[in-house]
Amino acid sequence: MLAGQLIDLDPEAAYQHAQAAVSRAGRVDVVREAAALTAYASGRYEEALREVRAVRRMRADSSLRAIEADAERGLGHPDKAVEIIEATDATSLDLAEQVELVLVSSGARADLGQSDVGLVIVDDALAVLPEAADEELRRRLMEVKAERLTELGRDAEAADVLEAMPAPVEDTDIIDVALFQDADVDNKRSALRGSGSALAEEFDCALLDLDGTAWSGDERIEHAAASVIEARQAGMSSAFVTNNAMRTPAQVAEKLNGMDFDANADMVMTSAMDIAAIMAEELDEGSKVFVLGGPGLRLAVEEQGFTLVGSADESPAAVVQGLDKEVDWAALSEGAFAIERGAAFYASNLDATLPVERGQALGNGSLVRAITHATRKRPTAGGKPEPGIYRRASALVGATNPLAVGDRLETDIMGAVAAGIPAMHVLTGVHQARDVIRAPRGQRPSYLAIDMRGLLESHPAPKHHRDGTWTCGVSQVAKVTRSGSLMLDDVELTVPVTVSIDSYRALAAAAWEYADAAGEPVTCPEMSVVDNDDPSGIVRAPEAAAGEERGDDILAATATADELPEPGEETPTFLPGEEELEELLARTADLDDEER
């Protein structure tokens, strides 16, 4: 199968070939195995898990356990990876599969901050590895052992292990020289992905945030509408996903059309619609509901068949709260009364703030806390970052392979990660490059772009090199110092800086790797990001102007030494008080000649 030939050289192309095979022979176990392996190799961990489990159902065995565990690691769940490994009967696996499990287990322990345990796991495996075992297995175990030792600060021992490693097996086949261009690239992965073609061609739908992504308040965002329209022409449909529960879908579409997005109400998923759907799953049809919110929330609740009431005295089964800029003390108190009497409590979202032109205004979450504080009841929440809103938005437009797009890490990106949906972050809203580089696990996007034009572009995958550095596309070389400072081409980034988009991607990969190992984010200055062809994005070492000027002064002083007057009669060879020493030297000169 061509996918198998490509998987190491071009995982994305291998994935596409495997998908083509699945469409023709999806009930053949080896085809689904290829789909699992290529999904894993291309960073589609959620999909890899589904395919692995499909293979296991077909074969009724423990196939691909290491891939399953490592995919959980890729999704940020090292604890689940450990559970999978511990539940595996290793005696049913061949030696190579057992080694793969050991490698993943050691890595998962390191992810959990247990590098010492990870070291013991690899040491134990090396101790029982048969002498006749494939040297490549021994080499890989030793390589991971060196990584654990390095993480534990035992650099000298790590160097000894690397020195003692068996040499890689020479491949005597004729290979294209181009394959050696990344000879020092290892297999360390990043949450940041690459794509072989434009994202609009790889995903069937863009789940688009509104404020900060599609528009900025009442202002257009450059390239946003035009990029979305062009993505549609490439086959990527659009859905607009918002935590704003005040507007109805028709009102949202009207505003979008005023900015040339060519949208309709059927493309809009609001947090009001999301929480109303959750309520429909939990409450009886026709139940009475007290609504604290605007027209968008009231319409969504009514469309789910609930009966709206205006007072706690009407015994509502539930209270649902969405942002309402006109809400007052009386309305909040009425909701609290109903909850105290047993009504269930729901909230369209828990956003603490709402960005406005003057700054960060109170969001729905801040108002929800007033009722929570009074009633001691926490609401069931919808909207982002809950995963359900993304899944419902995908179902709304019939998407099966969606991409989320947003500007806020703790809502847009976190919700997509929770839903298992890849996300592209844009720098047109709240969170900027520095925030992304310092993002914790669970809030890291799969793709990074300056703006919505990122939908129309292919994205290079970051590459980790054996010297601990990262590159991406045409980036400069990124790394993090032991103290957590970022560097590009050995220039430490300590002051506000402008970098290229590919260097930004490489820095993000390096920063996330460091944060996972150190348990804290890197130190990062404010950062602007420009296109790769913008020369202002090249970071260069600062000129040591002050030091050079001091050096020039010294050279200038020594250059005038020849202009000083020669000692004359009025200029004593010895300083005053040294005449006696001159006389003594003159008297002993003959003695020196005799000794010579």
Q: Is the peptide bond before 521 cis (omega within 30 degrees of 0)?
A: no
Could you write out the three-class secondary structure of 127-149?
HHCCCCCCHHHHHHHHHHHHHHH
Tell me the three state secondary structure of residue 210.
coil
Nearest residue to 485 via CA among 513, 509, 521: 521
What does residue 543 show for φ and ψ, rounded to 5 degrees? -70, 130
Told to judge if 209 belongs to the known catalytic residues of this protein, a careful annotator would answer yes
Question: Could you give the CA distance from residue 218 to residue 131 in angstroms, rounded to a whole number?
Answer: 70
Tell me the three state secondary structure of residue 338.
helix
Nearest residue to 8 via CA among 172, 187, 136, 169: 187
From the centroid of its chain, how far is CA 588? 81
Return the structure tokens found at 6.
Answer: 């490509």
Strand arrangement of the beta sheet that strand 491-492 belongs to? 462-464, 470-472, 478-480, 486-488, 491-492
Q: Please give the full DSSP string across 299-331, using - where no structure is assigned.
A: HHHHHTTPEEES-GGG--SEEEE---TT--HHH
Q: Please give the full DSSP string across 441-493, using - where no structure is assigned.
A: TTS--SEEESSGGGGGS--PPEEEBTTS-EEETTPPPEEE-TTSBEEETTEE-
Considering 70, 111, 209, 502, which one is annotated as catalytic?
209
Considering 70, 111, 211, 351, which one is annotated as catalytic?
211
Other C-beta atoms lying within 10 Å of the C-beta of residue 491: 14
Q: Is the peptide bond before 567 cis (omega within 30 degrees of 0)?
A: no
First to last CA, the chain: 90
Told to judge if 211 belongs to the known catalytic residues of this protein, a careful annotator would answer yes
Other C-beta atoms lying within 10 Å of the C-beta of residue 574: 11
E-strand ranges in 348-452 read 353-356, 359-362, 380-381, 402-406, 423-426, 447-449
Other C-beta atoms lying within 10 Å of the C-beta of residue 164: 10
Look at the block and give the residue holding tokens 């460091």.
Answer: 514
Residue 215: its H or E element? strand 215-216
Question: Torsion over CA of 138, 143, 148 and 150, rounded to 10 degrees?
Answer: 140
Nearest residue to 62 via CA among 19, 98, 109, 22: 98
Return the structure tokens found at 376.
Answer: 């001691």
CB contact at 8 A, 137 and 152? no
E-strand ranges in 104-204 read none
Question: Could you give the CA distance from residue 175 to residue 8 in angstroms, rounded to a whole number?
Answer: 14
Question: Across the strands, what pairs with 308?
Answer: 289
- Determine the length of the chain: 596
CB contact at 8 A, 254 and 207? no
Question: Could you give the CA distance from residue 371 to residue 373 in angstroms, rounded to a whole number?
Answer: 5
Q: Which residues have a catalytic role annotated? A: 209, 211
